[in-house]
Amino acid sequence: MSIDLSQFHQVFFEESLEGLDLMESALMELDVSHADIDIINTIFRSAHSIKGGSATFDFKVISDFTHVLETLLDQIRDGQRKITKDHVDLFLQSVDCLKHLLSLAQDNSLEVTEDASALQKQFEAILEGDSPSVEATSHIVDGSNIESNDSSECWDITFHPSRDMLQTGNDGIRLLSSLKALSDSDIYEITCDVSEVPSFEFLDPEACYFSWKIRCSGDIAYDEIKSVFEWVEDDSDIIISKASPEEPHSMAQPEVAKSDAPAEAVSTPTKKLKGAKPSSENTFIRVGIDKVDELINMVGELVITQSMLSQLSDLVDSAQVPRFGEGISQLEQNTRELQESVMRIRMLPISFSFNRFPRLVRDLSAKLNKNIELNINGESTELDKTVMEKIGDPLVHLVRNAIDHGIEMPEERVKAGKPPMGVITLDAFHQGGHVFIQITDDGKGLNKDILLSKAIDKGLITESQALTMSDEHIYDLIFQPGFSTAKAVTDVSGRGVGMDVVKQNIHALSGSVDIKSKLGYGSTITIRLPLTLAILDGQLIRVGDNIYIFPLVSIVESMECDADNVSLLAGGKRVFKLRDEYVPILSLGEVFNIQSDNTSIDGALMVVVEYSGHKVGVIVDELLAQQQVVIKSLEKNYQQVMGVSGATILGDGMVALILDVQSIVSLFSKQKNIEGISLLSSANKAS
Amino acid sequence: MAKVLVVDDSASMRQMVSFALKSAGHSTIEAEDGKKALDICSQVGSIDLVLTDVNMPVMDGITLVKNLRGMPSFKFTPILMLTTESSADKKTQGKAAGATGWIVKPFTPDKLVSTVARVL
């Protein structure tokens, strides 16, 4: 039988990564001075399972590495060694190292990394330092020095099991037949000694009173015989000796046992429970995300069909079909519930994303010599899996920033009258169909004057703009490309390329981010995210005969264009004076080359939308309803289209395109033969 | 063909062991810790062989063996522990608890099937 073990690799990788996460959080939880044995056991088990699995599935590098890790953990677990902070650090590094090794194994490029061999050496040094003796003992009576190259051997074996052998599930008959299977010659004789069997009244049916003498020959090695009795050797008397085939038996009792030894008749009582079924209570099943997405898609279609029927139900004469309306509203409710349940399949608790932070905060605060406590609230708040994956990196960046720039050094804090230990709080909660994530620190807060002067230095704003900017706008400056408040580049927060990317990533998820800060008291960054990416809150708009959808989050405001506020710039560009700002104007009809109702800018309806911090006024013909729409990918079903991020099907069966503000601007710029940036910067210059 | 209960907290090991045993014509039931295994045993009533890992959360393999030996229907059932070579004392503890024997990890599917054949 040959089984392809690679079919189990994926499961092994998944469970090992889960095990490592578990190990990491247990290590974080561990208080070295009062090490909790349950936590140590959890850590040991994770390492142990990974070692077992990697050895079984032939990832030797991983099993070798985990072996030293496990050995040290085993000694700690047995109380032979006290766990120290250095051990914990080493174990944490090993977690990272193992994650790396696993990813290499996944790519079929497993090899010993420098990290792994360096860590392994450190573990070996600890283990050799004052190694508590661990020896494997083997008890077998005599014979271990017997060696022979002779292909045919004759062996005499005396096997005297303990009385309670049967109660360990071992069975003389099975042992003897295993032994027989080794022998390939005719010489296989068994003599059963029944002299110890008591009279019937004293007979314990569960005890084994027999002993056996066996003579077997053939191409049998000593170790092979030994391994047959491996499981019973500790509590049995076993003598294995070489015999010469000619030598007569020196066995006392000549009674030859047949294969039906009476004492073995005590067989396992087999009783069947009626209707009892084996229940392997696995509460989770693993399902491919594509299957779930297909289901979500189908339900999306169902929602569309349902809303089509709802619209048609108005045409049905309720007198003729009295219960039609009732049925339709029931269908509507059921579809909505179905949709919610299906969406929930993709939801994961945010702890999946949050659980990396205790480690991050610990490592970074140690590196920066800061004293920081991390509080996490709302870990069970659920979020779409894709959203979760994409928000991970931005969150890490924001937390790193809070540690690096937010929290002050302990001395500085004491001077400011604050406790030396800084606090960073991560919060997650649901509110109004959105998920909110808040990162709060009690550090020094953002200094508006520094932000402004820096922004002026970098040419992001003018001095006159600086005078009129609201707090909100000032804080928002840190999200501008090329803006960094760190005086020196550190390897913790990087070089200021991050915050604009953070904002972009959050926007790409149809989310938003804002900052509140108080100088000397700390800052709070709030991220608002949609519950799911499959559904979008949309604003329906009309241009000519076409209906388009703006994501609601991108809309700032809508207004009627007043010609007095519109200025014409060189190159046919128009800008609108929106209070203190100049906003470039583009007409959707022009961009998509379709006939729109209004030809004059005066009195036209303008939707002010925002992307990456820039505002653009988009001229449309009419604002229609706001509704939730199910997003259909154009790329998957057709191809990528400039200016459009996806499509949806409306209640009446019509297809409407969902607009992508950023690419509309670049489309418009291309048509006008100008750079997107210059469109906006010219608006800035106009001010 | 025998009915084998496979107890291991590692899903990949369970799957591998089950697959190997099924390929050899046995039927298997899986449990992810000792407690679940014990529940299954008391529901099913009879099982031909139990293969159990030692280190598991909730209830470890040695406690499982002790409990099973206390149940009349499992007093003589062969129970093999899946142990690693480094845990010599676990073998002794397992034996003391009433385990029939052990299979040393790592093992190949072939080794598993031939060892299982020794007790069935």
Would you give the DSSP letter of residue A412?
H
Identify all chain B residues contacting A235, using CB atoms and an 8 Å cutoff.
95
Least confident of A117-126, A269-278, B107-116: A269-278
Of all residues in chain A, the one with the smallest CA distance to B93 is A234
Calculate how close chain B gets to A429, using CA atoms only, in Å: 32
Chain A residues in contact with B85 by the CB 8 A cut-off are 136
Tens digit of each residue's pLDDT (9 = 90 or more) over A393-438: 889 889 988 998 889 999 999 998 999 999 999 999 888 668 899 9
CB atoms within 10 A of CB A420: 13
Q: Is the peptide bond prior to B106 cis by the omega test (within 30 degrees of 0)?
A: yes
Q: Is A5's CB within 8 Å of B16's CB?
A: yes
Q: Give the residue-averaged pLDDT of A136-160.
A: 59
Domain ranges within chain A, ordered by starting residue? 5-129, 153-262, 289-346, 349-530, 535-686
Average pLDDT of the residues of chain A:
80
Q: Are A644 and A660 in contact (CB under 8 A)?
A: yes
What SS3 state is found at A626?
strand
Distance CA A549, CA A631 (A): 11
Q: Which CATH superfamily is domain A535-686 in?
A: CheA-289, Domain 4 (2.40.50.180)
Task: Give pLDDT, residue A374.
Answer: 92
Catalogue all structural domains in chain B, each as residue range(s) with its CATH number. Answer: 3-117 (3.40.50.2300)
Q: pLDDT band for position A257 (50/70/90)?
A: very low
How, if at all, do strands A546-551 and A535-543 pair?
A: antiparallel
CA distance A103 to A114: 15
- The stretch B42-60 carries a mean pLDDT of 89
Classify domain A153-262 by CATH architecture: 2-Layer Sandwich (3.30)
Residue of A nearest to B70 (CA): A167
The torsion region of residue A121 among left (phi > 0), alpha (psi -120 to 50) and beta comes to: alpha
Q: Could you read off the pLDDT of A566-594 as tens digits, one per residue?
A: 888 877 788 888 887 888 998 888 888 88
d(CA A162, CA A232): 9
| ipTM of this complex prediction, to 2 decimal places | 0.84
What are the backbone angles phi and psi of residue A101, rounded to the nearest 5°?
Answer: -60, -40
The topology under which CATH files domain A5-129 is: Four Helix Bundle (Hemerythrin (Met), subunit A) (1.20.120)
Q: Which has the closest alpha carbon to A500: A663, A661, A616, A613?
A: A613
Q: Residue A258: what pLDDT?
A: 42
Report DSSP letters for A241-294, one per residue.
EE--TTSPP--S--PPPPS--GGGG-PPP----TT-------------HHHHHH
Q: Contact A70/B86, CB-based, under 8 Å?
A: yes
At position A266, the amino acid (one-letter code) is: V
Residue B17: name the closest of B90, B113, B115, B83 by CA: B113
| Residues in B touching A3 (Cβ below 8 Å) | 16, 19-20, 23, 109
Q: Is the dihedral of CA A136, A137, A140, A146 positive or negative?
A: positive
Residue A278 banded pLDDT, cuts 50, 70, 90: very low
Would you call B105 and A42 a contact, using CB atoms and an 8 Å cutoff?
no
Return the biggest CA–CA distance within chain A: 125
In this complex, the residue of B29, B109, B119 whose CB is nearest that of residue A1 is B109
Confirm whether pTM is higher than 0.90: no
The DSSP line for chain B is --EEEEE-S-HHHHHHHHHHHHHTT-EEEEESSHHHHHHHHHHH---SEEEEESS-SSS-HHHHHHHHHTSGGGSS--EEEEEETT-HHHHHHHHHHT--EEEEES--HHHHHHHHHTT-
Residue A508: C-alpha distances to residues A394, A475, A529, B62 (Å) = 12, 21, 10, 53
Place of tokens 């128009």: A574
pLDDT at position A488 is 46
CB–CB of A268 and B46 under 8 A? yes
pLDDT confidence tier of residue A268, bands split at 50, 70 and 90: very low
**Which chain A residues have a beta carbon less than 8 Å from that of B53?**
52
Q: What does the DSSP 8-state code read for residue A403?
A: I
| Cβ-defined contact of A269 to B73 (cutoff 8 Å) | yes
Architecture of the CATH domain A349-530: 2-Layer Sandwich (3.30)
Strands in A622-630's sheet, in edge-to-edge order, are A622-630, A535-543, A546-551, A655-659, A644-649
- In this prediction, residues B35-39 reach a mean pLDDT of 92
Mutate: best of A231, A270, A271, A272, partner B, most B CBs <10 A = A231
Helix axes A661-671, A676-686, angle to 10 degrees: 90
Amino acid at A144: S
Q: How far is CA A682 from the centre of its chain?
A: 45
Q: What is the pLDDT of residues A587-602, one digit of tens each?
A: 888 888 888 887 778 8
Residue A634, amino acid: L
